[in-house]
Amino acid sequence: MSDEEKIMKMISLITGDRTRASIAVTLDKKRSASYNELKRTVERLERKEISDGKFNWHLKQLELNQVIMKTNTGYVLTNEGKNAVSIVRKAFKYYDKK
């Protein structure tokens, strides 16, 4: 898979679900977050509680596709994940201006 295809797959994964988008945007802003901090922030953004099972599933999808990675202190975006989030943010800024 080419780098461009990998980034496109990540963008599709991030934008395909509000919870995954909230996770990615939160990590983009905070740089790093523990599981509990990340879950609380995402629940606040979505204005609803998310079950641990559902939240874990979304984290795993992002991790398996190398958008995020788990560290000793929590979760961070990978370099490719940062690129994908940056593209998503630019696209939304472009459409917000129209």
pTM given for the model: 0.90
Query: Residues 38-64: pLDDT tens digits?
Result: 999 999 999 999 999 999 999 999 999
**Structural domain count of the chain:** 1
Handedness of CA 10, 27, 78, 59 (dihedral sign): negative
Residues recorded for the chain: 98
* Matching residue, tokens 């780098």: 3
Q: What CATH number did the domain enclosing 12 receive? A: 1.10.10.10
Tokens representing 96 are 């917000």
Q: Cα separation of 40 and 96, whole Å? A: 27
When pLDDT is averaged across residues 71-95 and rounded to a whole number, the result is 89
pLDDT of residue 90: 86
Confidence band of 84 (pLDDT split at 50, 70, 90): very high
Residue 68 pLDDT greater than 70, yes or no = yes
- Domain containing 87: what range? 3-97
